[in-house]
Structure 1
Amino acid sequence: MGAGATTAGTITADAMLWDGVVTLHGRVENQLAKALQRRHGIGLSEYRALCRLARADDGELRMQELADLIGLNQSSVSRLVARLESAGFTRRAMCPKDRRGVYTVITDEGRIVQEKAAPTYSETLTEALDAAATDPSLAPLIATLRP
């Protein structure tokens, strides 16, 4: 029996809602990723990491904290940070109080890339949500999510 199905094979309201959320998420993420890559040469995860770092106190976060904020596991965030470091967008720093604690710190170059990409992200997000609002299967969800 599939997820969200009842014994009679009907789909619950919660399952239908979640299916809509998953569909909306996939469409929006795909459009955001393509726009950021095409216009700025960065991936969506890189952009989100740079945003979180730019907003953090002193522009730095512990690796695990960054992983939690952008929804990645420890291994994935380590690879992401390695890519950001290679590009010159971040650097690693050790925690002065706990030498086991590793931070990633946004560089000036990382801030510039994030600031240049922010309008692309915002415009693409609005376009993607506007397009979803015209899809009869997603319009009610968009109406609920948008103020």
Structure 2
Amino acid sequence: MMNFQGGAPIATPSTPLAQGWCVLSLLHDRIQAHIERELQARHDLSVREFSLLNVLSRQSERGDHLHMKQVAEAVVLSQSATTRLVTRLEERGLLSRALCDKDRRGIYTDVTPSGLELLESARPTNQAALQEALDEARRDEHLRPLVEALEAFGFPGYDFAQSE
């Protein structure tokens, strides 16, 4: 199987498992890049910023808070990268931080009303960009089976903000 990324051939991995991983990674990268462009252009948000606002808003809806370590796990970043991301959004007035009542060393991060407003306006953009990227990927014979698998599986009831 010949793999292509951006029209240029890339090295073919040696095992079927590695080939599958490369195709999955390619699909992820294409989708993320498409969503990133749309969120940046329309809302001045990166995919990571959108994800962080989304995770924290869902926790807030439940009346819950996440420690910074849990936030890092939820957005799949190191704790230092998460701290920088939170700081950027806090400087924009989209997040706030507070000390944990039970553990003064712990810090909670919450979405501000401005952050919720921006998130709500960005959600349709995120959804439309995701659908556009999946539609485009469906036209690629190597990516089509993954798109179909995602749609068939559907992730009903999966809580992407869950913590361990």
TM-score by shorter chain over 0.5: yes
CA RMSD of aligned residues (A): 1.4
User: 1:21 aligned to 2:37?
Assistant: no
Unmatched 5+ stretches in structure 2: 1-11, 153-164
AA partner of residue 26 (structure 2): T
2:56, 2:150 → 1: CA distance?
A: 26
Residues paired across the two proteins, number: 139
Equivalence for 2:135: 130
| Higher share in helix | 1
Equivalence for 1:146: 151
Given the alignment, which residue of 73, 77, 87 partners 1:72? 77
User: 1:121 aligned to 2:122?
Assistant: no
Shift of 1:13: 1.4
1:14, 1:53 → 2: CA distance?
A: 35
Equivalence for 1:3: none
Contact 2:13 2:19 in 1 (8 A): no
C-alpha spacing 1:13/1:110, structure 2 compared with 1 (3 Å): same
Shift of 1:145: 1.8
Shift of 1:40: 0.3
- Percent of aligned positions that are identical: 39
2:131, 2:28 → 1: CA distance?
A: 13
1:102, 1:140 → 2: CA distance?
A: 42
Shift of 1:29: 0.5
Shift of 1:10: 7.0
Task: Give the match's secondary structure for 1:61.
Answer: coil
Unmatched 5+ stretches in structure 1: 1-8
> Which of 117-126 and 57-66 deviates more?
57-66
2:138, 2:95 → 1: CA distance?
A: 37
AA partner of residue 24 (structure 2): V
Contact 1:31 1:124 in 2 (8 A): yes
C-alpha spacing 1:100/1:49, structure 2 compared with 1 (3 Å): same
1:16, 1:89 → 2: CA distance?
A: 40
1:10, 1:129 → 2: CA distance?
A: 24
Contact 2:93 2:114 in 1 (8 A): yes
Contact 1:60 1:106 in 2 (8 A): no
C-alpha spacing 1:10/1:94, structure 2 compared with 1 (3 Å): closer
Segments ≥4 residues shifted beyond 4 Å = none
CA shift digits 1:51-107 (9 cap, x unpaired): 001100336321111110010000100000000100000111000010000111110
Task: Give the match's secondary structure for 2:108.
Answer: strand
C-alpha spacing 1:116/1:36, structure 2 compared with 1 (3 Å): same
2:73, 2:138 → 1: CA distance?
A: 30
User: 1:62 aligned to 2:67?
Assistant: yes
